[in-house]
Amino acid sequence: MTEGTPMQKIFIQVLLLLVGAALVLSRNYWGKPLPVLLSGIFFMNLCWITLVLGHDLKIWAWLRNNIAGNLALIGIIVVNLIAVVVTAFIS
């Protein structure tokens, strides 16, 4: 498996951010605005997590290099997904 070029990584991160922002901004036009809002936040979380994992910035090094940081990154995604699913079923 080959890694993407830096431009491909940035493109995917910008795309995730744009999709998240579009969902957040258009949430009132959907039938169930709260699950759409949570889905938009999910895409924004994916954006910054891929920034953390894809670029070597010292401020994020501790997130990538220890168990607590890795569990936090995974936990953010899992909690966000659970919130979307539970909210979608409730509303």
pLDDT in tens, 24-75: 999 999 988 888 999 999 999 888 887 777 776 676 777 778 888 888 888 8
Res. 22 pLDDT band, cuts 50 70 90 = very high
Whether residue 38 contacts residue 51, with contact meaning beta carbons closer than 8 Å, is answered with: no
Please report the pLDDT score of residue 18 as a whole number. 94
Whether residue 49 contacts residue 43, with contact meaning beta carbons closer than 8 Å, is answered with: no
Mean pLDDT throughout 5-32? 88
Please report the pLDDT score of residue 56 as a whole number. 67
Res. 89 pLDDT band, cuts 50 70 90 = confident
- pTM comes to 0.75
**CA separation, residue 48 to residues 23, 33, 65, 73, 88 (Å):** 16, 23, 17, 10, 24
The angle formed by the CA atoms of residues 57, 8 and 83, to the nearest 5 degrees, is 70
Residue 47 exposed, middle or buried by CB count within 10 Å (0-12, 13-18, 19+): buried
- Residue 59: what residue type? I
